Structure 1
Amino acid sequence: MRSQTSRPHHASTSAPIVRVRRRLLLRELSNPRLVVSHISPNWFASVMGTGIVANAAATLPLIAPQLHAFASVVWVVATVLLLGLIAASAAHWVVHREVARSHHRHPVMVHFYGAPPLAILTIGAGALLFGPDIIGSDAALTVALVLWSIGTVLGLATAVIVPFLTFTSSSVTDQSAFGGWLMPVVPPLVSAAAGAPLIPFLPAGEARLTMLLACYAMFGLSMIATAVILPLIWGRLARHNIGNSAAVPTLWIVLGPLAQSITAAIVLGAVAPVAVSADLAEFLGFAGIIYGIPTLGFALLWTALAIAMTVHTARRGLPFSLTWWSFTFPVGNMVVALSVLAFATGSAVLEVMALLSFVALVGAWVLVAVRTFNGSVIHGTLFLAPPVTADAGKPTAPSAPAA
């Protein structure tokens, strides 16, 4: 009898092939819930960088009316982004409280607590510019006042708390200074500039005078602090060179207080007549121009240095991180400063400089926004854990791995 040899039935014995469908979004995250696991304060720089594009467009000489629709859309996008980040930050504090509480102990991350109030103030300033056409004049004024108040309180808090934490930290050395040190002291300066347009809406008399004096006091707070910090940054660069490539974009932050102070000096002088005597108002208006032009000179010097250092570093490799948003907000501040100076002086040269700077701003914003969207929404790598330490003398950028 012929033996019958059984043959394997491949269709019935082989393991079934399981096709895993790759996610279209958050591709690199093992679990979508990790989106809120490391929402750090520096994420709010994306709101700052987006909002300033809208605000800068509204101040441009000659073509501001033609850009109003574009700027309005960008402001709405920035507002939605702010609300989303506030919600994500709240979820982060609830679900990952220990990680959230560790940020203030990080020698680099702690300085970016200035970003949330800056983001709030940027959106609040835009509310007066774009809000009336979207939500009505009364609602827009209310939103602007509320956001200015919240941003100012938070900004004054960071201006005190963050330097205190720095002064009492054992990890700070003479090599630690970097552009981010300016972040916690800049919000009061933005409050000064953003508060000026609100003064005419206040009751005449003591309320307007108090607001004007408070804005000038916050102007002095930020600029004197900036005058203390700038030599530390310059000295570190001279003694220890540029340092960590990931932190190079933060050198552009220096432009922020310089340009914002020009804007504050000009706009406060412009609204002074509704709060003080005619003679004092005339002096304040003149003082704003006298301050603004020399400060612009140093701002342009630093712009040239920042460009040179960025190009020098890019040749060796400049990894993408959230610090790239430093290419947007400070440049936007320069656009606004050039625009208000051009209006105050009638200079056609400054008008052209403002327009060219705006083109550069939009280009930088598109680049950084696309890279951020790709690294966060598409791949999710920007939601991974930031570093927990910083190398002394070579500040590590507070961001996730490069996307």
Structure 2
Amino acid sequence: MNPTIEETKLIVPTTNPSPRFPLGPAWWGAVMGTGIASTLTQLHAGQTTLGADLARFFLVAGWAFAVIFTIGFAIRCLRTTGAWAASMHGVGASAWGMVSMGILSIGSATATVLADWAPQFTTVSWGVDGALWVIGTALGLITTFGFSLALIRRRNAEPRPAWGLAVVPLMVSATCGAPFIAKLDSPVLAATLLAVLIFCFVTSLMLGIIIFAAAYCHHARVDRIPAALSASSWIPLGVVGQSTAAAQAISSQMHRFILPEAMPGIQAVANVYGIVMLCAAIPVVIFAVSTTTFGIANKMSFSPGWWALTFPVGTLSLGALNLGHSLQSNGYSAVGIGAWILLLSTWTVCAIASLRHPFLAKSPAPAN
């Protein structure tokens, strides 16, 4: 069975042997992967000169991607009738979830890296992160509920892992928003933010389970993921890793709202959840590796969808890193480091592939 028309337009090449991919939401996977690469490089190796420089490179590159994609898409919408409307309809609309996650990812990287790079801008970096968290979360709410309602109406018979892009943003919001609880002086505002984060966590987890379960069942019983969409098999790993990180991030802020003697129990729940999720990551990774290998064997052409090889791997690293710190376990920390090294490798592959392939759409010939 073939990919849908919307998927073909956004993340897979057409019959053109040298396809061009116009700037738009589908490219924001590059911002997501670069932002989390910056954050993780700072966390894993920021104490070294090389690590700090690499984290700063990723931060600058992530912001450059965000600006280029935003301006490029705006120009495209002004020049091409229907470009904006096309990005908002059909299965391809899930790509707007990548815009939300890209905004959240680069905001978190700014607070993590810039504060170390230029301490005098610490307050500014947190302000930027806060503003981007609000924007990214608002967009994530729109993609989550808008896309979910669209799926209910359309009842598409070919579920894909890429559908999950629309609902994962709220899990990223749950992780990135937790540090702001400690910065709020008002107990009411802090409790409200905590409630929002828990809502984001539960909503994303539940919808993600439904969407990915449907996709896995479809590909196991009906047809496998098309070779051109092989990289999308890594997307479910994003919920696994990100929810592990979110559980740790939220539980670390609970001391402000519960009795001290209850904290060990809360932390234990977060730890058990993380262990279960990282165990669940094993078959997900095996499936993703086998599917991607199938795609490579069938000579899948480059598309912006290749960037799905970056952010989900990064969330696994972040989740394992946080869990390792909580359990004081070198084993989980080693998993986090291994996933980070894999992220650096996949980021390099995707960056080189992107530079080798044109991404600007050819301008239509003027009408006579």
Q: Above 0.5 in TM-score? A: yes
Equivalent in the alignment of 1:43? 27
- The amino acid that maps onto 2:210 is V
SS in 1 for 2:198: helix
* Structure 2 residue matching 1:38: 3-state secondary structure: coil
Q: How many residues align?
A: 339
Q: CA RMSD in A?
A: 1.8
Is 1:249–1:323's contact at 8 Å kept on the other side of the alignment? yes
Q: Answer whether contact 1:199 1:208 (CA < 8 A) is retained.
A: yes
Task: Please report how far the alpha carbon of residue 283 of structure 1 lies from its aligned counterpart in structure 2 after TM superposition.
Answer: 3.0
* Residue number in structure 2 paired with 1:155: 140
1:265 to 1:247, Cα distance in 2 relative to 1, 3 A: same
Q: Tell whether 2:69 aligns with 1:85.
A: yes
The structure with more helix, counted as a fraction of residues:
2
C-alpha contact (below 8 Å) 1:272/1:281 kept by paired residues: yes
Residue identity in the other structure for 2:267: G
Q: CA deviation at 1:280?
A: 4.3
| Structure of higher CA gyration radius | 1
Q: Return the alpha-carbon distance in structure 1 between the equivalents of residues 325 and 263 of structure 2.
A: 17
Asked whether the equivalents of residues 117 and 155 of structure 1 are also in contact (C-alpha less than 8 Å), the reply is yes
Q: 1:324 aligns with which of 303, 306, 324?
A: 306
Question: Is 1:383 aligned with 2:366?
Answer: no
1:117 aligned partner, one-letter code: S
**CA–CA separation in structure 2 for the residues paired with 1:87 and 1:384:** 14
| Paired residues of 1:256 and 1:333 also in contact (CA < 8 A) | yes
Partners in 2 of 1:59 and 1:269 — Cα distance? Answer: 19
Moved over 6 A (4+): none
Aligned residue number for residue 249 of structure 2:
267
* Structure 2 counterpart of 1:102, one-letter code: A
1:104 — aligned with what? 88
Aligned residue number for residue 395 of structure 1: none
> Secondary structure of the residue that 1:283 maps to in structure 2?
helix
Q: Does 1:120 align with 2:103?
A: yes
Structure 1 residue 86 displacement after superposition: 1.5
* Aligned mates of 1:93, 1:282 — CA distance in 2: 52
Amino acid corresponding to residue 152 of structure 1 in structure 2: T
Matched to 2:31, the amino acid is V
How do 1:58-73 and structure 2 match up within 5 A? 58-60=42-44, 63-66=45-48, 67-73=51-57
Structure 2 gap segments, 5+ residues each: 1-19, 363-368
Deviation at 1:166, TM superposition (A): 2.3
Q: Distance in 2 between the 1:347 and 1:216 partners?
A: 26
What 5-or-longer segments of structure 1 have no aligned partner?
1-34, 386-403
Q: CA deviation at 1:264?
A: 0.2
List per-residue Cα deviations over 1:358-382 (Å, max 9, x = no partner). 111111100100110121xxxx2x3
Q: Counterparts of 2:265 and 2:167 in 1: how far apart (Å)?
A: 27
Q: How does 1:3-402 map to 2 (within 5 A)?
A: 38-60=22-44, 63-66=45-48, 67-107=51-91, 109-132=92-115, 133-134=117-118, 136-169=121-154, 172-173=156-157, 176-375=158-357, 380=358, 382-384=359-361
Post-superposition offset of 1:316 = 2.2
